[in-house]
Structure 1
Amino acid sequence: MWRLHRRKVPAYWRDGRAPCWQRKGLGRRLLTTLIDLGRARKLDGATLTTDRFAPFNAPFYATLGFQFLEKEAASLRLRKILEAEIAKGLDPLRRVSIALLFQAARGRNSGAWP
């Protein structure tokens, strides 16, 4: 199964998180562009890891169709990414993976993220 993961996006694209760049639609445009590219490449979906308690994360990613995955539901690859983030000092209680399964992939894997 092939997926696009946000960690593979160059850092200069992710730096739009600075307050002066927020609320301008840049994050949404970036993510929708990456999602569209993933679909065009016939990938199965997109994943990212984030802070589960940041007040803007859940509503924003939900509008794009992402769903939060509990650790047990995440793939081994996503669990390893979370473990690496925690090893770097991020709070394990706050870290979570989220996923967007592309429509074309639904028939191949019934919506599961193995």
Structure 2
Amino acid sequence: MMNAKNFKKMNDVELDVVAGGTLTEVNQLADAFARKAGTFGDIVADVHSALNDKSGLAGPANILLRNAVGKGLSELGISHDLSVGVLGTGGFSKANKYSCGGKSISHAEVLKMIEAASVA
């Protein structure tokens, strides 16, 4: 029988690495934009499709995806600092940051804003 006292609690950085972290967030944002359709939804959906293709170009595709998602966020008035890690691999990524009107907002709030946005 294992003793639970022998395990240490993961910090946020370690948890992000296990859960996919910032690259997962960028993919979630891309999915949210793709569901909205419209101009930016179409662009993001195209790049996201390329990313999901098993062509071996995941790193560069992640960089393109980050740029497309960033463009969509800017259109919504959301300032952002999105990280996809070294060469788009997700490795050594830093926490994504979002703000709107000078106020820091969470990833969940950004997803809600995308969902509530009108389609162009």
Q: Per chain length, whose mean CA-contact separation is higher, i.e. which structure has more relative contact order (CA < 8 Å, sep 6+)?
A: 1
Flag the structure with larger Rg: 2
Q: Do Structure 1 and Structure 2 share a fold, with TM-score over 0.5?
A: no
**Which of the five TM-score ranges fits, normalised by the shorter chain?**
0.3 to 0.5
Greater per-residue helix proportion: 2
- When the two structures are superposed, what TM-score results if normalisation uses the length of structure 2? 0.34
- When the two structures are superposed, what TM-score results if normalisation uses the length of structure 1? 0.35
Greater per-residue strand proportion: 1
